[in-house]
């Protein structure tokens, strides 16, 4: 009879722990390297070729 009380509590705890672990996995995504970011900015037209080359030489 006592399990009617403890079973829902146990299930809620299990659910909460699994949901929290799912949310933390998304934070471990690989970050873009500075060169990747630079290439994207150049491809979008945010910087000129000269700026691209200058920054590339600086970060390499």
Tens-digit pLDDT profile for residues 7-60: 889 999 999 888 887 766 555 667 889 999 999 999 999 999 999 999 999 998
Q: C-alpha 6: how far from its chain's center?
A: 36
Q: Is 28 exposed, middle or buried (0-12, 13-18, 19+ CB in 10 A)?
A: exposed
Distance between CA atoms of residues 33 and 49, nearest Å: 19
Q: Give residue 54's pLDDT.
A: 97
Q: Give residue 4's pLDDT.
A: 82
Q: Give residue 28's pLDDT.
A: 61
**What are the start-end ranges of the H helices in 1-60?**
3-25, 34-44, 49-59
């Amino acid at each position: 009879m006592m399990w009617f009380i403890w079973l829902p509590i146990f299930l809620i705890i299990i659910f909460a722990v699994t949901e929290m672990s799912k949310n933390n996995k998304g934070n471990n995504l690989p970050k873009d390297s500075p060169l990747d970011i630079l290439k994207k900015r150049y491809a979008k037209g945010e910087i000129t070729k000269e700026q691209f080359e200058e920054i590339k030489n600086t970060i390499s």
